[in-house]
Amino acid sequence: MSLNPEARLKKLARESGYDFHKSRKAEGMDNFGGYMLTEIAPDTVVAGARYELSLQDVARELQRLHVLGRK
């Protein structure tokens, strides 16, 4: 059984010390209802502090961090 794109990205991110979360709902100017990418330790926001990332944005950030595209 193949993982969906979000689950596959999440697995790769976690294996490299990152995680991302989707906002439960958009509320106000500090929450756009998208994704936030964090580094697991020391629990810091890497991108999307206002939950403004799309899943494609998360993938781009993971590429920039050399999580995707590694051999």
Per-residue confidence at 70, pLDDT binned at 50, 70, 90? low
Instruction: Note the pLDDT of residue 30.
Output: 86
Residue 18, pLDDT > 80, answer: yes
* Domain range enclosing 36: 5-65
Domain for residue 12, yes or no? yes
For 10-70, the DSSP string reads HHHHHHTTEEEEE-SS--STT--SSEEEEETTTTEEEE-TTS-B-HHHHHHHHHHTTSSS-
Domain for residue 39, yes or no? yes
Token output for 26: 């958009």
Domain for residue 71, yes or no? no
Domain count within the chain: 1
Cβ(45)–Cβ(53) below 8 Å:
no
Domain for residue 70, yes or no? no
CA-closest candidate to residue 54, choices 16, 6, 19, 2: 6
Residue 61, pLDDT > 80, answer: yes
Domain for residue 40, yes or no? yes
Domain for residue 53, yes or no? yes
Instruction: Note the pLDDT of residue 1.
Output: 53
pTM above 0.85, yes or no: yes
Domain for residue 24, yes or no? yes
Q: Which residue has the tokens 């050399």?
A: 66
